[in-house]
Amino acid sequence: MRTLKFLLQKELIQIVRDPSILKILFIMPMIQLLIMPLAADYEIKNINLGVVDQDHTQYSQKLVNKIISSGYFKLKDYSPTFPKGMYAIEADKTDLILEIPPHFERDLIQENKAPLLVSVDAINGVKAGLGGAYIQGIIQEYNQDIRDEWLQNPRFNQQPAIEVTFSNWYNPNMNYRVFMVPGILVMLLTIIGSSFAANNIVREKEMGTIEQINVSPIKKWQFILGKLIPFWILAFGVLTFGLIIARVVYGIVPFGHYITIYVFASFYLLAILGFGLLLSTFAQTQQQSMLVSFFVTMIFNLLSGLFTPIESMPHWAQILTRFNPIAYFIEVMRMVMLKGSGLADIKTQILALLGFAVFFNGWAILNYRKRSG
Amino acid sequence: MKQFLIFIKKEWLHIWRDRRTLVILIWMPVIQILLYGFALTNEVKNSKFAIFDQSRDEATKTISAEIAASRYFSLWKNVYSYDDIGATFRQGKIRLAVVFPRNFRYDLLHTNHAQIQLIADASDPNTANMLTNYATSIINDYQATLNRDVAMPYSITTQTRMLYNPELKGAYSFVPGVMALVLMLVCAMMTSIAIVKEKEMGTMEVILVSPMKPFKIIIAKTIPYLFVSMLNIACILLLSVFVLDVPIVGSLCLLIGESVLFTVTALSLGILISNGAKTQRTAQFASMMSLFLPTLLFSGFLFPVENMPWPLQVISNVVPAKWYYIIVKNIMIKGLGFSYVWKETLILVGMTVVLLGISIKNFKIRLA
Amino acid sequence: MAKEKVITAKELTKKFGDFVAVDKITFDVEKGEIFGFLGANGAGKTTAMRMLCGLSLPSSGQATVAGFDVYKENEKIKKNIGYMSQKFSLYEDLTIVENIRFYAGIYGLKDDKIKDKTASLIKELHMEGSEKALVRSLPLGWKQKLAFSIAIVHEPAIVFLDEPTGGVDPITRREFWGLIYEASGRGITIFVTTHYMDEAEYCNRVSVMVDGRIDALDSPANLMKQYDSKSMDGVFLQLARKAVRKGD
C-alpha cells in the first residue's frame, strides 16, 4: 500500500509539471464543446428547392408559394424544363425538384386529379427522407385547402377522418444541442482518457525508466493502479469542466441528478482507462499505441449511437454495440440528462461497465510483464 | 536524385519493419469501411414502440397490427397508463407511443371523427420526426381503405423519385466521407507523428547534417505513406463496389486522380503539424484536433454543412475534406465529369500549394 | 573460511530463436567483491545481467542471486538488489529529492529513514542547494553519481551496474569509482559490466565474455600474468581476436 502511495505521488508530480497535459485536458474539450455542438446539428432546415413549373397558372404559383412559406425550403432554382432543373441538382445547388406538369390546374378541375413529380437527391438519406416527407405534407395540406375552397358544401364530405395529434416529450423545443452536447462530452472524455492512458506506459518504455520499475519489488497491480488512479481523478475534472460548459454556454441542465452521472462515470472511466492501459502493455512504441487507441476509439465512437441511431443498425451491429462501453455511456447520458432516469433505471448499464472495467484492468495487469520471456 | 531514392528506401524500411503498425494502417481502414458501410445509417427501421390502447376494438387492433408489421416499427409492449409510457421512455426502451382513446371505432363510424395521439421521444428530433411521419402515413393508409368506395374529388397525386440512392442507403453518403477520414488519418496524422518521432529521438539532427536538402528529407518521409494511402484507397473502392454495393458511376481515373491530390494535401498538412509539434503526443493531439474532428464535422458526410451557423460554414471552407467529399460524391455517386468538379479541384490544389509553402518557410526558420 | 557466494550461475543460457546470446556461462560472485563483467559490445554481457536481475527469463541453466533462485523466487531477488542501467533511469521531470524519495519509498524505507538518507546523500554528493533542481538540468556526471546512490539507497546485498560510466570524462569516472569502493567497503557486492578495460583493473575479479561464452575468469593480476600483458587491454585484445560476432 505504501508503495502505491509513492507511485501516486510520483505520477501526480509528473502530470502537474507537464504543461502540455493540462492544456490538452482542458483546452481541447473546451474548444470542441464550443464548436462541435454548433456543427453537429441534424435538424433539417433550409432545404434547397428547385421548381420546374410547366403550368404557369395561378394554382401552380400558389402551391410554390405555400411550399416556400412553410420555412423548410428555400427556392434556389426556377427552370423551364426538367433537364435544366436536373443541372441544378447535379451542381449541388438544389436538393430536390418539384415538377409541375403542364395543364396542372386544368386537369385538377376537369379530370379531378392531377399528378406532381418530386425528384430528390437521395445521397443524404435523412435529408431526402425528411425533405420528401415535408413536401408531401405540404402538398396534402394544399390539396385539402383546394377541396375546402372548391367544394361548396363541406358536409358533402362524409368520410371518416382520423386526426393524428403529436406530442413531443423530453425535448419539446426539438433542440439538437440538448441531444448532442452530452454525447460529445462522452466522446471527448473517451478519446482523451484512453489516449493518455495508452500513451503513458509506452512513454516510459521508450524512455527506459520502465526498466528501473521492473527491477524493483513493485508489484504489477500496484504499477497499473498507480497509472490508473491519477488519470481517473483528472478525468473527473474534465467531466466537471464539460458539464459546467454545457450548463453555462448551452443552458443544458440534467433532468435527472448530476450524482447519477458521476456514479456512472466512475465506472465508465475505470473501463476506458483500463482499455488504454491494456493497449499500452501491448505496444512497443508510442506511434503504435496512439494509432491503435485512436482507431479503436474512433470506431467505437462512431458506432456508439452518438451520430447515428443504434436501432437503425443491422442486427449484427446492434449485438456489437453491447460490447461497446461508449454506447452505454451515451445511452445513460441521454437518459439521465433528458429523461431524468435514476440509478435504478441504469443498473444494467452500471453492471456492464463494471464488467468492462474488471476485464480491461485485469487483463492489463496480467499482460504486463516485469520479466520478458 | 539517387540520394533521394536512398532516403525513401530508408523511410520505407522503417515502416515495413514495424509490422504491427503497418498491419494496422492497412487493415483498420478496411474494417472501418465495412463497419461504417453496413452499420452507420440514419435510416429508421425496427424502431421499438408501445401501444396504449384504451378501446381495444377492431379498428385499433388493425391499426396497431399494421404499424407493428411495417419495417419501420417493432412492437415492444402494450402499456396501460401514461405513467407506464413515461417509465418505458425513461428506461430507454421505446421511441414512440401510440395512444388510442376510448370508443375509437364507435366515434370514427358514428361521428366521422376520432383521434390518435402519437407521443414521441424527442431527444433525437429527427428520429422523432421520421417516426411520427411513418406512423402517420400508415394511419392515413388505413383511413384510405375506409374510404375506398368514395373517390375523393380534386386529388393531387405526388410521385416521388429518389435520385442516385433509391434505397436511401446510408453507405452512399458515408463511403466518400470515410474515404476522406481515412486518408486524413493515415497521411496527415501518421506522417506528422513519424517526423516528430525523429525529432524526439534526436536522429533528426543527424539527418539534417547530411548533404541532402532538409526539405527533400521530409518529402522522402512522406512518400511511403503516400504509397500506403493508395493501397487504402484501392481497398476502400473495391470494398465499396463489391461488398457495399455502392457503384462507381463516374470515371475511375478521375476519382483516383483526385484522391491522389487529396492525399498530397493531407500529407502537406501532416508536415505542417510536425513543424510545430515537439513531442509525438502533441503531434497526435494536434492532428486529432485540426484534422480528424474537423473532417468529421465539416466535410458534410455526417452533418449537412448548410445547417450550420454562418461562421462555422466559413470555417468549413478551410477544411480540405469538405471539398474532397464533394468531389468524390459527384464523381462516384452522381457520375459527373471534371467540368463539375474543376472548381473544387482548383481549391485543393491551392490549399496544397499554400500548405507546402508555409511548411518550407517554417522549416527554414526552424533550422536557423 | 569459504566466502559466502551471493551470485551463482551454472550453464546459464539465453537463446533468441536460433541465436544463442548467452552460452552456458558458469561462475560465482563472492560477498563484498567488486566483480567486473567484461566483453565487447554484443558479447552478451547485458543479456546475462538482465537474467540475473529478473528482467529476462533464462532459456536454460541455473542461477541464484542473494540465495534466491532466478526462476522461482524472482520477486524476492528484486528486494535485495539494486540496479543502474545504461540510461541511468532517473525521472528527468522530478527533482533530486523527489527521485530519492520515490525510490527509497518503493524499496520499503520508512519515512524517517527516507529523510535521513536524503539528507546524507545530498551531503555526500555535494549537491547542497540543488535539492529542488530537476534531474533534467543536471550535468551528466551528477546524474551518474545520483543514479548510483539511489540504486543502493536501500543498502541491498548486491548492486548491478550496466556500463555505468559511458560518456563521462576521466575525472568523473574516477570519482564514480570512489563511490563504488565506498559501497563495497560497506559490504555491498558490486557486479559491474563495462567495456573500459582500465576499469577492469579496479575490480577484485573479472570475467571476459566472448561470443556469449565466458572465456576467462580470474583476478586482473592473474589474467595479465597468464596472457603476458601489461594491461587488461592486452588481455582483452588477445581474447577478442577469437571472436566471431561483430560488435553492435
**Each residue's pLDDT tens digit, C166-189:** 778 888 888 899 999 999 999 999
What are the distances in angstroms from CA B95 to CA A189, B74, C11?
27, 11, 72
Residue B159 falls inside a structural domain? no
The pLDDT confidence band at residue C1, using thresholds 50, 70 and 90, is very low
A39: pLDDT strictly greater than 80: no
For chain B, what is the domain count? Answer: 2
What are the start-end ranges of the E strands in chain B? 47-53, 73-78, 96-100, 113-121, 155-163
Instruction: Return the higher-pLDDT residue of A174 and A214.
Output: A214
Q: Which H or E run includes C210?
A: strand C205-210
Label each residue of A119-173 as H, E or C.
Answer: EEECCCHHHHHHHHHHHHHHHHHHHHHHHHHHCCCHHHCCCCEEEEEEEEECCCC
The pLDDT confidence band at residue A355, using thresholds 50, 70 and 90, is very high
Looking at chain B, the number of H-run helices and the number of E-run strands are 16, 5
Q: Which H or E run includes B185?
A: none
The residue of C106, C114, C117 whose CB has the most chain A CBs within 10 angstroms, and thus the best one to mutate to test that interface, is C106
Residues B238 and B292 in one domain: yes
- Least Cα distance to A86 among B335, B206, B32 occurs for B335
Q: Which of A60-69, A338-347, B138-147, C78-87 has the lowest mean pLDDT?
A: B138-147
What count of other Cβ atoms lies within 10 Å of the Cβ of residue C24? 15
Residue B1 falls inside a structural domain? no
Nearest-10 Cα torsion for A169, A174, A177, A181: 30
pLDDT at B150: 60
The pLDDT confidence band at residue A333, using thresholds 50, 70 and 90, is confident
- Closest B-chain CA to A342: B90
CATH of the domain at B84: 3.40.1710.10
Domain range summary for chain A, segments of one domain joined by +: 22-41+176-367, 47-156
- Identity at A334, one-letter amino acid code: R
Helix axes C140-151, C170-185, angle to 10 degrees: 10
pLDDT at C156: 93
Label each residue of B124-141 as H, E or C.
Answer: CHHHHHHHHHHHHHHHHH
Residues B72 and B90 in one domain: yes
pLDDT at A8: 92
Q: What is the DSSP letter of A263?
A: H
**Highest mean predicted confidence (pLDDT) among A47-56, B88-97, B215-224:** A47-56
pLDDT at B4: 79
Interchain contact, C74 vs A10, CB within 8 Å: no
Q: What is the DSSP letter of C95?
A: B
**Highest mean predicted confidence (pLDDT) among A197-206, A333-342, B50-59:** B50-59
| Interface contact A42, partner B, CB < 8 A | yes
**Each residue's pLDDT tens digit, B92-118:** 788 899 999 998 888 888 887 888 999
Q: Which of A80-94, A239-253, B137-151, C32-46 has the lowest mean pLDDT?
A: B137-151
> Whole domain around residue B119: which residue ranges?
47-146
Residues of chain A with Cβ-Cβ distance to B279 below 8 Å are 20
Residues B101 and B188 in one domain: no
| Interface contact C149, partner A, CB < 8 A | no
Show the domains of chain C with their CATH numbers: 33-57+73-240 (3.40.50.300)
Q: What is the DSSP letter of C130?
A: -
Q: Whole-model pTM?
A: 0.79
Residues of chain A with Cβ-Cβ distance to B190 below 8 Å are 287, 291
Write out the three cell numbers for B216. Answer: 527533400
**Each residue's pLDDT tens digit, A50-64:** 999 998 888 889 999
Q: By percentage, how much of chain B surpasses pLDDT 70?
A: 94
Query: How confident is the model over A76-100, as a mean pLDDT?
Result: 89
Return the CA Rg of chain C. 18
Interchain contact, A195 vs B285, CB within 8 Å: yes
Q: Is C158 helix (H, G, I), strand (E, B) or coil?
A: strand
**Each residue's pLDDT tens digit, B311-326:** 888 888 888 888 999 8
- Distance CA(A177)–CA(A188), nearest Å, equals 16
Residues B277 and B330 in one domain: yes
Residues B339 and B238 in one domain: yes
- Least Cα distance to B320 among B185, B175, B184, B171 occurs for B184
Residues B19 and B94 in one domain: no
Return the CA Rg of chain A. 29
DSSP assignment string, A348-364:
HHHHHHHHHHHHHHHHH
Interchain contact, A122 vs B172, CB within 8 Å: yes
Nearest-10 Cα torsion for A193, A198, A204, A206: -140
Instruction: Return the higher-pLDDT residue of A84 and A313.
Output: A84
- Identity at C135, one-letter amino acid code: V
Superfamily of domain A47-156: abc type-2 transporter like domain (3.40.1710.10)
Residues B237 and B355 in one domain: yes
- Distance CA(A196)–CA(A97), nearest Å, equals 50
pLDDT at C248: 43
Residues B52 and B17 in one domain: no
Interchain contact, A287 vs B21, CB within 8 Å: yes
Chain A touches chain C, with at least 3 Cβ pairs below 8 Å, answer: yes
A1 CB-contact burial (10 Å; exposed 0-12 / middle 13-18 / buried 19+): exposed
DSSP assignment string, B14-34:
HHHH-HHHHHHHHHHHHHHHH
pLDDT at C64: 93
CB A199 within 8 A of CB B200: no
Residue B243 falls inside a structural domain? yes
Query: How confident is the model over B108-132, as a mean pLDDT?
Result: 84
Residues B191 and B286 in one domain: yes
Helix axes B338-367, B252-276, angle to 10 degrees: 20
Residues B126 and B177 in one domain: no
